Amino acid sequence: MKISLIIPCYNEVDGIHQLTERLRLLVPKLATDHEVEIIFVDDGSIDGTAGQIRLHASGLPYTIVAHEQNRGLGAALRTGFSVCSGDEIVTMDSDCTYDPMDVIKLLKTLRSGYDVVTGSPYHPQGEVLNVSPWRLFLSKTLSRMYWIILPNPLYTYTSCFRAYKHGILTKLHFKSNGFLAVTEILVSAILQHAKVAEVPAKLQSRRFGTSKLKVVRVVYSHLKYLIRVLFWRVTGLPQT
C-alpha cells in the first residue's frame, strides 16, 4: 500500500519551513506500514518556493512537479492526481491552515469503508481559529447552499484537506482550474453515490505569506456552479 500526499504551492516561500517540519513528524507515522510519496506541485511560483522546498525537504520522499506559469489550484490538483501512484491520496494546503498531522484522522476514516473523506472545520466538533469573519461567513454560506441542494449533506464543501481512494479519482469530474475545483470534486463524488464522509478539523489563519483567493471571482464561480448542480438534481441529467 502506498500513500500519496499532494501539496499545491504558489509563492509560499515563507511557509515552506513550517510545512516541512510538520511533514517530518507526519511521514514516519504513515511509513510504519505504508510507502509514502510527497508531490509538491509548484504552480508557477516566482518567489523561490521550489528552492526552499529543496532546502528544507531534504530526506523526505518528495518530488517537485512544476508549472511554468500559475494555473490555479484546480490545475495543480489535476497535475498531482496525474502523476501520483498511491492507493490512498491526500490533498493538503501548503500553508498549514490545516494541521498536516490530521492526515492520520482522514486516513483512519477512509480505511473504515469510504471513498472520500474531507476535513470539516464547520462540523459541530470542528474548530476555526483567527480566520477573518467575512471569509468565514462566505465559506460557511456557500457550504450551506450546497448542503441544501445535495442528497448527502455535509458541513464543509470548500476544504482542500481530503483523502481519496485511488479508484474513485478516475470517476470524478471537475473543470475549474481555480479554487472551485475542490468543491466540484466533492460534488461529483456525491452525485456518483461514492461513500463520502467528513471528519472534524481545525482551520486556522496562516502564519506566513498571503492568501491567493480572489473573493469576487470565487463567489461568482460558486454561484454559477450551484445553478448547474441544481439543474442536474432537478433534471436527473448527468454532469457535463
E runs forming strands in 44-129: 62-67, 88-91, 116-120, 127-129
DSSP label at residue 160: -
Q: In this structure, which topology does domain 2-235 adopt according to CATH?
A: Spore Coat Polysaccharide Biosynthesis Protein SpsA; Chain A (3.90.550)
Q: Which three cell numbers, joined as nine digits, stand for 52?
A: 526552499
Cell of 215: 473573493
pLDDT, position 211: 54
Cell numbers at residue 173, please?
A: 469530474
Local confidence pLDDT in tens for the 240 residues of the chain: 999 999 999 999 999 999 999 999 999 999 998 999 999 999 999 999 999 999 999 999 999 999 999 999 999 999 999 999 999 999 999 999 999 999 999 999 999 999 999 999 999 999 999 888 877 888 889 999 999 999 888 999 999 999 999 999 989 989 999 999 999 999 999 999 999 999 999 998 755 545 555 667 888 899 999 999 999 888 877 776
Report how far residue 2's alpha carbon sits from residue 195's, in angstroms, rounded to the nearest whole number. 21
Contact 129, 202 (CB under 8 A): yes
pLDDT for position 21: 96
- Residue whose entry in the numeric block shows the C-alpha cell 468543491: 183
In whole angstroms, give the CA distance from residue 216 to residue 67.
25
Length of the chain: 240
pTM of the model: 0.92
CB–CB of 162/90 below 8 Å? yes
